[in-house]
Structure 1
């Protein structure tokens, strides 16, 4: 009859520690296991994003806003900028650029 495997890895590690007869070796193995658990937990912690990520994120949001403002001000004067051929679609371009910056905010960790 096959043996049932433990449902959690720690149950297997606990049973392995109980098999060690020498108390000093058992304590050493328990400390080593605890150290490995702490290292794994620390590796999973969030790390802050680099400065260039924040600069690009805020830069895209500001660029999108400036794109839309430039289009509106230029249309009041009668000039077709930033992209003359697409007309009112310049608004979508500006929102798209800003949207990329806002989507990047989901990955921002401080």
Structure 2
């Protein structure tokens, strides 16, 4: 999430801070470790996550990440792997190596004859 995303004005956004705080209270009390949001497309799930829940979670000290699995419909696993490495690079920039470097470290440069 961009750090300025919550501050960008959007006259169409229906803010739901009470719902975000209810989710965070459940996490804080260890009543839930994960939450799923289910609704038809276009009902505001992503809007709620990115504009209400994630900013509130950051304010409460949580580390948040968002991945759009629709970004590559034929290969949603690519979005997950990309998000994982982006988060890893952000958390540990000095320890970050590329996926190619990780693969090359595990695969011999030349094949045995």
TM-score normalized by the length of structure 1:
0.27
Larger radius of gyration: 1
- Which structure is higher in helix share? 1
TM-score, scaled to structure 2? 0.26
Choose between structure 1 and 2 for higher RCO, CA contacts under 8 A separated by at least 6 residues. Answer: 1
